[in-house]
A and B are shown apart, each in its own frame.
Chain A
Amino acid sequence: MASTKTCFVTVGATASFHDLVKGVLASSFLKALQSHNYTDLVVQYGVDGKQTFESAVKAAGSSGIQISGFELEKAGLGKYMRLAKGSGKETQEGVVISHAGSGSILDALRQQIPIIVVPNASLLDNHQVELAEALAEQEYVVHGKLENLVKALENAEQLRQRQKEWPPANSGVHRQAKAVGLRGILDEEMGFLD
């Protein structure tokens, strides 16, 4: 095999998201991964996702995709993000699929890895859908639906061609102010006038 290409899936640390774990291990999705030349699928399945993950892997059988999973990573997901980002020759850039936690979205945006955001509909106060929609509208992310992850993967492959950088280049509004962003606000409140 010439090069590897990784799809990294994260469900976050606080709530479980069995449907996403099952969704990415469905045979239709694994087939789609293969047709886009993916070689590896890494799943962070969360606190009580081990059983769901293992039975879904068993059900999927052999698919030609190398599947691995883990519960949580105390040291952060940076290692796996870099795996999905790839390093050029040996490893191609893959994709991140996230439960819409702002931490993982930011990580992927900073490193300019294409990301599919799938909000967890079973959470009560689900403002994460709003975040996913707003970011998808500005073409930073692909807003994935559980029913159609295959389509989302196709969209993500297209997004790769026109991946935007984060933070947005013109993010400092109030250009006239001397210091901008968080620093500007802290300076104003501290009374640093220089």
Chain B
Amino acid sequence: MAFLILTLLTTLLALLTTAAIYRFNVILTPTRNKPLRHGRRNPNEPTHLLVVLGSGGHTAEMLAMLKRSVTAPNAAEKLNWKDYSHRTYVINEGDDISKERVVEFEELAVGTAEDLMAGKVKKATDIGPGKYEIVTVPRAREIHQSLYTSPMSSIACLQACRDILMKHTTDTRDGHAGEAGKVDFPDLILCNGPATATVLVFASVLLRFFDVRGCSTRGKMRTIYVESWARVKSLSLSGKLLCRVVDRFLVQWPQLAKEAVGRVEYRGVLV
């Protein structure tokens, strides 16, 4: 009798594991569905970009990269900040320096954004500079504390990240009642190496695993990871953890693209 129960339990466990692995495979394939879009600034299709800032070097690199893109002189490289109607910045609690940098950057970025049309057409199509918010999470770990020895603070951080990902609801605009009031998961998550980013990406994977509020079927939370420019020969810890999880994994040195595994790609230096 005991043997029978044991066999049943093992079979059940095996089935569940297989199902879970299958599910992870489905949601972690970079070729998973993207949402269908109709034009770059369609007022009926709000866009939400979430940027994770660490502290010190991570923040500096992220903002240097964004600054370079929004101020690029050539059209092919210039990132138009108005393409993203909602921007969320995640920073660590108490990191006032990063907060100041974000405010500075937003001023610059919105100032450099160009309008798609001019005159009357502009009036009709302009969706304005959009909105941004700065949200804070508790630190996943203190400096010098290992990621593995800090399960409690990591769990607190994980919960905070889940709340942040589900926090924003679509702006209610005339004419898109269909989308109004839904949880507006970020369309894109842009991050580099701080521990907070790793935790936030895992939170997004869990939400997609269970397809919470349709986030997976709606193709939300595609994730772009940019390895630090300071990483020339080897991936960082965050990089190793995330190189098979994120949709895009960019390194900034060609020699690292040859060495590393996973979804690593080199598209030139980005900072």
Contacts and interface: CB of A to CB of B under 8 A. Distances in A.
Interface of A: 12-14, 74-76, 100-103, 106, 127-128, 130-131, 133-134, 167-168, 171-174, 178-186, 189-194
B77 A180 contact: yes
A106 B60 contact: yes
Interface in B53-86: 56-57, 60-61, 64-66, 68-69, 72, 76-79, 83
25 contacts: A12-B56, A74-B100, A76-B101, A106-B60, A127-B230, A130-B231, A130-B233, A131-B229, A131-B231, A171-B268, A173-B267, A173-B268, A178-B76, A180-B76, A180-B267, A180-B268, A181-B268, A182-B66, A183-B72, A184-B76, A186-B190, A189-B222, A189-B247, A190-B83, A191-B34
A74 B97 contact: yes
B207 interface: no
Contact of A190 (B187, B236, B267): B187
Interface string B24-68: 000000000011110110000001010000001100110011101
B248 interface: yes
A186 B224 contact: yes
B54 to A, nearest CB: 11
A103 B57 contact: yes
B267 A102 contact: no
A130 B232 contact: yes
A102 B248 contact: no
Contacts of B37: 190-193
The 5 A-B residue pairs with the shortest CB-CB distance in the complex, in nearest-first order: A103-B60, A130-B232, A183-B79, A191-B34, A171-B268
Nearest to B222: A189
B92 interface: no
B86 to A, nearest CB: 13
Interface string B95-134: 0110011000000000000000000000000000000000
A101 B61 CA distance: 10
Nearest to B234: A127
A134 B72 contact: no
Contacts of A181: 68-69, 72, 76-77, 267-268, 270
Contacts of B36: 191
A102 B57 contact: yes
A101 B57 contact: yes
B185 interface: no
B266 interface: yes
